Amino acid sequence: MMDYSDIFLKNILEDTKSIAIVGASSKPHRDSYKVMEALIKHGYSVYPVNPNEVGNRILGIECYSNLNAIKEEIDMVDIFRSREAVLEVTNESINIGAKVIWMQLDIIHLEAEELAKKNGLKVVMNRCPKIELQKPYWTSK
């Protein structure tokens, strides 16, 4: 696991209001669906991104083809895609002015991390925001 302090993660989750979930699934048994559901329950504005789901709604929310299709400001991009797709998603995240790149469990991409940090974004790898929101230090939200 990457070594992030509880304070670092808590600050990101407190400062974040809107989250794009790249690789969102409409299937309730998939992790991206469960994470999206948990983030909505925690009060975040969530935007599912999946070109295969465009025109559909996931948890009642319109699904977008890519980050550029979202007209609202996005604070954090939560990546549920293969490692091979992370660099492209990172570039899109930089282009839309996101503040945080969050790579889900088992996703580590050092080149994308370096690119994001050079462009002023915070980066979290190999973590899940749903799990972080269940930790004991998370009592203020």
The whole domain housing 16 covers 6-133
- Write down the pLDDT at residue 114: 97
CA dist., res. 21 & res. 59, Å (int):
12
For the chain, percent of residues with pLDDT exceeding 90: 91
Residue 15 has pLDDT above 90, yes or no: yes
On whether residue 1 sits in a domain, the answer given is: no
Within a domain: 140: no
The count of structural domains within the chain is 1
The answer to whether residue 138 sits within a structural domain is no
- Helices vs strands, H then E, count in the chain: 5, 7
Q: What is the CATH number of the domain that holds 44?
A: 3.40.50.720
Give the predicted TM-score (pTM) of the model.
0.94
Q: How many Å apart are CA 7 and CA 9, to the nearest integer?
A: 5
Amino acid identity at 47: Y
- Alpha-carbon distances of 66 from 1, 13, 32, 141, rounded to whole Å: 28, 23, 16, 29
In a domain, 32, yes or no: yes
